[in-house]
Structure 1
Amino acid sequence: MADDLGAIGVIAVFYSTSIRFVWLGAAIALLVIVWLMRRRRIWYGPLYLFIGIVVWYCMLKSGVHATVAGVAMGFLTPTDALRPDLDSESVINRLEGQSELTAADVAAASFLITESIPVGERLVDRMLPWTSYVIIPIFALCNAGILLTSESLRAAATSTVTWGVALGLVVGKTVGVFGAATIAIAIGIARRPRGATNLHMVGIAMAAGIGFTVALFVTGLAFTNPIFTEEAKVGILGASAVAALLSAVVLSAAARRSSAAELAIEAAENAELFDEVLPSDLISEKRSLND
């Protein structure tokens, strides 16, 4: 997702047309209203949806690429829970401690548990079926238009456009995502998930090279020559397949390695021989898993 936001930023800077400042000002004013609603803790979903649609329309009319509206609304979406002081487990334990429960008690507990979940996670959970199974497939189908023939494949195999796009997705995304994540963890603005290793991070970074959505979108904007466009699409298709395969292989290896390390650590700890039995590499693996 972060790499897609970067791509949309490129679109906003390089592919926006002449700016109409009245429409742009209207969009910014609506975004300020959204920010004020957040500050006032107004969380009526349909109102946010309506304002988001109007912001998108104003961006479209302003000449700024309309995808910026979605990015702006996304940045204004809270990433924290509305009630960070609540813990879902404590709410459930409180319910289990009661001898009799009414429908009102269950409804109140359900509301409190929902409030303890970050807003961003709730939106993702609600929208994921629509985006995964409806919006993205329609988008990819409408934007692909790849004609695969023996002639087009031969031309693509020797095309610098095809290879440039493919290397950018497979190598560039891996290096960029893994490098940015490593730097963010090193300087303290992000935290490595519990149990995650560098191999997990590399595998996930490789998955970012599956570029069959935004990559196609940028291709249509970047190339005016239809030959270059077709060659770039072949590069995207091939690179996406390679990135998916490499990511699956690396993540599978990371999972096996983590499982083996955990089993060895558990066996050694049960025998109370951890320091004597385990080699130094497994000790390091345990520490990374427990960080």
Structure 2
Amino acid sequence: MATDIAFAVGIVSLSGKRVPAALKVFLLSLAVADDLGAITVIAVFYTSSVAFAWLVAALVLLVVVWVLRQRRVWYGPLYFVLGVVVWYCMYRSGVHPTVAGVAMGFLMPMQPLRPDLGAAEIADRLENQAELTATDVENAAFLIRESVPVGERISDRWLPWTSYVVIPIFALCNAGVALSGEALGAAVGSRVTWGVTLGLVVGKTIGVFGAATLAIALGIARRPRGATTLHMIGIAMAAGIGFTVALFVTSLAFDSVEATDQAKVGVLAASVIAAVLSTLTLRLAASRASASELQLEALENEELFAESAPGVVIDER
């Protein structure tokens, strides 16, 4: 059910400026919400037994994190250690530990301790001081660090590890499927494979495009500037690209190894189909938009020429 953020945004980015920036932001927001929905499903439907003592310990620690944020104790390493302990308690409780990551993400301070100061302003203050002491430099370093939110600092610090180590390992662990001729033959005739494929390719397209169109019609949302109906259909198709989290949910949803492999084949097939259809649709939308712009420009030029030279007739043969 989840949209793979990296693949979906990457596919749309291949279209470059052909896709309005607002639609890219919409897809990114949709993918994040989609993944959160998938994690909620994991927590609710794939928790077999709960050790309440460990669950209470995790909840107490989350309350501690909230109190620290409210008291403006914004020390990055402290939040990191608490996050690891919360993850362990959630794991021991029987609730899937991915929920701990989501909870910590919501509770992480995303505002700087000193929003009134920027790094450039602090540096200018140092430059204008006649004499600098070690204490002045330490205070400036502290203020510069605290001008960046804790959540952003932790994200930047661990981005190389998460991007190049954790996520690839996560994807490889969940993408394992035997693609032998016999397995593919079984997948082609499997209702599980077809259900997953159609759900991602057709279901996601209809659901996302339909919900967006309904929201615009009801006045809840506005169509992004420069976006056509084809643009919106192309973005909705990109939402059907499911890889990491979708494969992870698949491994939890089925008890049978055969059914799990068939579902994974469906996810992989749907991701390829959705990526191709999305790319083609967005390119078609861009070409039509360009043609419309050229026609409008030609019409404006004709009107301008007619106003400047009313006695001259344009021969269009």
TM-score range, shorter chain: 0.7 to 0.9
Q: Return closer, same or farther for 1:46/1:18 CA change in 2, 3 Å cut-off.
A: same
Aligned to 1:207: 238
Q: 1:21 aligns with which of 45, 49, 52?
A: 52
- Identity, in percent, stands at 67
Aligned to 1:165, which of 187, 193, 196? 196
Q: Offset of 1:127 from its aligned partner? A: 5.0
Partner of 2:178: 147
Using the TM superposition, give the Cα deviation of residue 248 of structure 1 relative to its aligned residue in structure 2, in angstroms.
Answer: 1.9
Q: Tell me the TM-score normalized by structure 1.
A: 0.72
Q: What is the match of residue 64 of structure 1?
A: 95
CA shift at 1:10, angstroms? 0.9
1:114 CA drift (Å) = 8.9
Distance 1:253 1:133, change over 3 A: farther
Report the alpha carbon displacement of residue 198 of structure 1 after superposing the two structures with TM: 4.5
Is the Cα–Cα contact under 8 Å of residues 74 and 113 in structure 2 kept in the other structure? no
Secondary structure of the 1:16 match is: coil
Please, which runs of 5 or more residues in structure 1 have no aligned partner? Answer: 277-291
1:179-218 matched pairs, under 5 angstroms = 179-182=210-213, 194-218=225-249
Instruction: Pick closer, same or farther for the CA change 1:10–1:271 going to 2, 3 Å.
Output: same
1:107-149: CA deviations, max 9, x gaps? Answer: 97xx77994x887677666655443332222111112221112
Q: Distance in 2 between matches of 1:48 and 1:41?
A: 12
Deviation by residue 1:197-245 (Cα, 9 ceiling, x = unmatched): 5444433332222211111111111111111111111111111111111
Cα deviations by residue, 1:53-86 (Å, 9 ceiling, x for unpaired)? 1111111111111111111112224566767778
Residue in 1 that maps onto 2:83:
52
Residue number among 73, 77, 80 corresponding to 1:42 in the alignment:
73
Judged with a 3 Å threshold, the aligned counterparts in structure 2 of structure 1 residues 54 and 151 are, in CA distance, closer, same or farther, namely: same
The aligned counterpart of 1:138 is 169
Q: Say which is worse superposed, 188-197 or 246-255, in terms of deviation.
A: 188-197
Report the equivalent of 1:231.
Answer: 262
Distance 1:258 1:118, change over 3 A: farther
- The AA in structure 2 aligned to 1:206 is M
Check whether the contact 1:156–1:231 (CA below 8 A) recurs between aligned residues: yes
Q: 1:286 aligns to what? A: none
Q: Secondary structure at the match of 2:48?
A: coil
In structure 2, C-alpha distance between the alignment counterparts of 1:22 and 1:36, rounded to whole Å: 21
Report the alpha carbon displacement of residue 182 of structure 1 after superposing the two structures with TM: 4.9
CA RMSD across the alignment: 4.2
- Per-residue Cα deviation, 1:223-282 (whole angstroms, up to 9, x for no partner): 111111111111111111111112222333344455555666678779986xx9xxxxxx
CA contact (8 A) 2:114 2:146 kept: no
Higher relative contact order (CA 8 A, sep 6+): 2
Structure 2 counterpart of 1:11? 42
Q: 1:247 to 1:69 in 2, by over 3 A?
A: same
Q: 1:204 to 1:231 in 2, by over 3 A?
A: same
Whole-Å separation in 2 of the counterparts to 1:63 and 1:254: 47
CA contact (8 A) 1:3 1:208 kept: no
Stretches of structure 2 that go unaligned for 5 or more consecutive residues are 1-31, 308-317
State the distance in 2 between where 1:166 and 1:145 align.
Answer: 18
- Which structure has the bigger radius of gyration? 2
